């Protein structure tokens, strides 16, 4: 992940419900559905998890991807597929 003060729990929380687009595949976007602290009892703005939701196909493999966003700088995240349902695939990115 690109290190920057702008990539904080507060910054991502403000973007829940918006889309992050793969830089090398502009037609593929993942919606940020949750931004939560890793430790709810001791929240820290630099230690958090993101849940993103995308289409069933193409399913993204566990890997590092570069994303663009209308309100944030481009960023590189390691995402892991964590599940699928009738509406698509869910992925997690952890910042700590």
Mean local confidence (pLDDT), 26-51: 89
The helix (H) or strand (E) run that includes residue 27 is strand 25-37
pLDDT over 50 (residue 8): yes
pLDDT of residue 14: 94
Task: Compute CA 22 distance to the chain's CA centroid, rounded to the nearest angstrom.
Answer: 11
Question: Looking at the whole model, is its pTM more than 0.85?
Answer: yes
pLDDT at 75 > cutoff 90? yes
- Check residues 71 and 1 and name the one with the higher pLDDT: 71
Token output for 92: 């997690």
- Residue 45 confidence class, pLDDT cut points 50, 70, 90: confident
Coil, strand or helix at 12 = helix
Position 96 scores a pLDDT of 86
């Amino acid at each position: 992940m690109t290190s920057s003060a702008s990539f904080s729990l507060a910054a991502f929380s403000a973007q829940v419900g918006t889309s992050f687009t793969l830089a090398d595949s502009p037609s593929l976007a993942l919606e940020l559905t949750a931004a939560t602290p890793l430790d709810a009892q001791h929240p820290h703005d630099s230690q958090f998890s993101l849940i993103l939701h995308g289409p069933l196909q193409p399913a993204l493999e566990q890997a590092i991807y570069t994303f663009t966003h209308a309100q944030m700088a481009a960023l590189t995240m390691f995402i892991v597929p964590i599940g699928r349902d009738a509406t698509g695939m869910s992925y997690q990115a952890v910042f700590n």
